[in-house]
Structure 1
């Protein structure tokens, strides 16, 4: 059985590919660069806007793990439509899609909704993983350097804003389980439950580093400016807008009913566990 992993060298795809390889599965690692090597996998360079290329590689697949890359909304829409068309043409046995933290909003026409809706109409067995915020966001230089140098954890959420944080490792755990359980369909929420606040995060960082760490709410604009040198002005503007929209919400907590804890028997890592697991 062969599993196709989108973005197999990236933050989300890499741990999925590694887990499948470790389990002895045949893995096709999709990348943008033909010279990239993914240990234990066959690397295939594919343009996600090429219907023919995706269809050909999906035809070999027992399962496909997909998420949309960070790009302009126009490009993401192109990728979403192409992926759906390739799934319909190739009919892989199973597709697992991670929304990468983007909310699935009823009536939305964004790329995430296009892909999720297209999979729902494809007739192919699928599941959608819906994380909220990634713990890896806290590794951005502006955040982790401030923790280390000043004992302050800055982030653009209110101090009383609960979030069901998840790590890319948690997404990989859920994805691998879902690829192996075609009977499980619909959305699966992945994240800590009960949700935790900014001061809870700071406490976990303090316990890990053995010092006092305080949480500091910052503005979405401050966060956008801090990540622009790393991800570019366009994506940074998207980050700013995301956190502006989030500031109007009461929380970003998952619900137990469709959680990985209930549906898959998988408990996402605590913040302190995650810090240990990544060897920080």
Structure 2
């Protein structure tokens, strides 16, 4: 039984749907907070059980009979995120899982200025201490995150953000395929003998100036990259109604990119998949098509 957590989310759902193409449905289970939202998977024969990272007892039920568990990282940060992930790791170990997989990040670093990165580093340490063989998928920065960062620029023609560095933007589809390989074979296990994979990224690392150039080509109108200070950017976010913790996280994102935490691009993902990974320009072309 392969268990996937967060199967109602974007990555978890993609992984589950791709697993169904390779594994009998009766050998797949999903752990979700909202069982009703996963009933379409249940109709296909997938075992659907409620599992909440805040409740170890629910995870014991959701992980019952697991041979492998994919823990998809939560959208929380800080001590809450680490506690949730540790609870899931402990539950997978108690369920007898032979391998635990976790969706980490290429920028995993206990001293990173981007808040989710220390959380990933702490979770990887929990995996090491679990005593269970594990694979930490060091995923590249989600390409979908860029859409949020450029939304104002599409309206104003100005991409105003702090000084940044290149980011190896990576499509969910490619990362989902890699997770399925890790769950159904030994490919990624071989590539990560110490449990941590190389960076699993798209084919190129692009900074905000490069993103502005792509948007200019895609939209047919000039998109100008303007560098603003961290303080000014944070103030603009707060004035737009963003909570302080969210504003600080976005400022930290740019600080971490300046430090090179999200680059360079790595060929490992394309090599594992046996095909080219999605280019950022192609991703944005598809993502922006409805609006255009």
Same fold by TM (over 0.5)?
yes
Pairwise TM-score range, normalised by the shorter structure: 0.7 to 0.9
Assess if the C-alpha contact under 8 Å between 2:162 and 2:229 holds in 1.
yes
CA distance, structure 1, for counterparts of residue 173 and residue 288 of structure 2: 13
- 2:103, 2:234 → 1: CA distance? 24
Q: Is the 8 A contact 1:9 1:38 kept in 2?
A: no
Corresponding residue to 2:157 among 151, 158, 164: 151
State how 1:43-192 maps to structure 2 within 5 Å.
43-100=48-105, 102-105=107-110, 110-140=118-148, 143-147=150-154, 149-158=155-164, 161-182=165-186, 183-184=189-190, 185=192, 186-192=196-202
1:204 aligns with 2:208: no
Cα shift readout 1:137-176 (whole Å, capped 9, x = no counterpart) = 1222x622422x2333344443xx2221112222212211
TM-score (norm 1): 0.79
Structure 1 gaps, min length 5: none
The residue number in structure 1 matching 2:224 is 214
Structure 2: gaps spanning 5 or more residues: none
Query: How much has 1:57 moved relative to structure 2?
Result: 2.4
CA contact (8 A) 2:201 2:265 kept: no
CA distance in 2, matches of 1:279, 1:54: 38
The normalised TM-score by structure 2 is: 0.76
The yes-or-no answer on 1:237 pairing with 2:245 is no
User: Which SS does the other structure have where 2:250 is aligned?
Assistant: helix
The SS at the match of 1:9 is coil
The whole-number CA distance in structure 1 between the counterparts of 2:243 and 2:6 is 19
Q: Secondary structure at the match of 2:10?
A: coil
Paired with 1:22 and 1:200, the residues of 2 have a C-alpha distance of: 36
Secondary structure at the counterpart of residue 69 of structure 2: strand
